[in-house]
Structure 1
Amino acid sequence: MRLYWIRAQAPRRVLALAKHLGMAMEYVEMDLMAGELARPEYALLNPNKKVPTLVDGDRVLWESSAIMAYLCAKRGADMWPMTSVVEQIEVLRWLSWNDCHWAPAVSPFYFEYIVKSTFGMGPPDREPLRAKEANLMRFAAVLDQHLEGRDYVACDRLTIGDFQLASMATDWRSAEMPLESFPNVVRWIEGLGRIPAWADPWPSNGDDGARRAASHRAPQ
């Protein structure tokens, strides 16, 4: 299997899952600022020109939640429920909640502080974030209430839902997200930080299977 990635939140959750499950993987890091995601040969794999993209033989998958479910199915891991429809629906509910509510609420902070810093896009612009705080706190309150007495967002165990929701919120202090008043959210994030693969998901050039996209030729 080959996974295309950049140092950003959507690839992070897939990378963490693959590492957590001990999956054999070839990791191809793309250069966002050099325009590698817009190259025609990459667009043949992912017409959205985004990452992550997983290639497994003749199968090509994009969208991180689908890739995570696929990896769990390949490994037989219950981080995506394999036998319980009720559990699948519960995880799906939180994946959908993330994409519709939580991610849009946290993404402005993540972009200004994490994305800009990672890719050398200049300093954060704090002023527009003032108007975004109320929406973030609205949905942080929903998550905080749900996590009362819980360590995970679904099924009473670690699932891909946790990785999906935490991907932009993990760096909440660096991103100056106003989460201090939501102790259950903070406790949950800190708990995930004790999972080695989540704490350090990024492949390095010295790892087996890790390389830069410049050395890769796309399938003809």
Structure 2
Amino acid sequence: MKIYWIKAQAPRRVLALIKHLGLKAECIEVDLMAGGLKTPEYAALNPNMKAPTLVDGDLVLWESAAIMAYLCIKTGSDMWPAHNPSEQVEVLRWLSWSDCHWGPAVAPFYFEHMVKSTFGIGPPDSALLKASVAELVKFAKVLDGHLAQRTFAACERLTIADFQLASMASYWRESAMSLEAFPHIVRWLDVLQRIPAWADPWPAKASAPAITTY
């Protein structure tokens, strides 16, 4: 099994899960800056020319949530509830909510503070960030309320929904996200950070912060 990755948040979820489940996989870092995602060979695997991509025998799979579900099915992990339809729906709800609402709400802060700093492409756009606060707060209220009596996002245990939701938000302090007013989110993120595979998912040490990809 091969995982093609770059140091970005979508691959981070998959790499963290691989470590957490103790899976053996060949993790191949694609040279983003050299255009590795746009080569004909890579585009043949992933026509979106993004990462991650999984290759397992004849199966080629992209999109981090689908890859995470596949890895759980492959190993029998209940982080994706393959045999419980009601739990599947619950996990799917939070995966969808993350992609449609939470991810876009936190992305401007992550990009402006982390990505720009990493690649030296200018200071944060303060006007853009000011305009983004309302959307962040709107959806932070939803997640914080949901987590008020919960340790994890779904099924009363760690699932792939947690890894999906936590990606860019894990950098909330560095990205100046206004999450101090949402103690349940902060507690949840801190709990996840104590999971070794989540805290250090990368196959090799690197000092630069991750960039975002979808």
Same fold (TM over 0.5): yes
The one-letter code matched in structure 2 to 1:192 is: L
Q: Please say if residues 14 and 64 of structure 1, whose CA atoms lie closer than 8 Å, have aligned partners that are also in contact.
A: yes
3-state SS in 1 of match to 2:203: coil
The one-letter code matched in structure 1 to 2:199 is: A
Q: Within 5 Å, give how 1:1-220 maps onto structure 2.
A: 1-204=1-204
Point out where structure 1 has 5 or more consecutive residues left out of the alignment.
Answer: 206-220
Distance 1:70 1:140, change over 3 A: same
3-state SS in 2 of match to 1:3: strand
Q: Deviations over 1:115-152 (max 9, x none)?
A: 22334434332331100000000000000000011000
Q: Please say if residues 102 and 139 of structure 1, whose CA atoms lie closer than 8 Å, have aligned partners that are also in contact.
A: yes
Q: Please say if residues 7 and 118 of structure 1, whose CA atoms lie closer than 8 Å, have aligned partners that are also in contact.
A: no
Point out where structure 2 has 5 or more consecutive residues left out of the alignment.
Answer: 206-214
Distance 1:77 1:89 in 2: 16
More helix by share: 2
The one-letter code matched in structure 2 to 1:178 is: S
The one-letter code matched in structure 1 to 2:36 is: E
Q: After TM superposition, which residue ranges in structure 1, 4 or more long, deviate above 6 angstroms?
A: none
Distance 1:133 1:38 in 2: 34
- Percent identity over the alignment is 68
Q: Provide the alpha-carbon RMSD of the alignment.
A: 1.1
Shift of 1:31: 1.7
The one-letter code matched in structure 1 to 2:168 is: M
* Higher mean C-alpha displacement, 188-197 vs 32-41: 32-41
Distance 2:161 2:201 in 1: 17
Match of 1:217 in 2: none
The one-letter code matched in structure 1 to 2:172 is: W
Shift of 1:111: 1.1
Instruction: Give TM-score, length-normalised by structure 2.
Output: 0.93
3-state SS in 2 of match to 1:27: strand
Distance 1:137 1:111, change over 3 A: same
Aligned length: 205
* Higher mean C-alpha displacement, 108-117 vs 172-181: 108-117
Match of 1:213 in 2: none
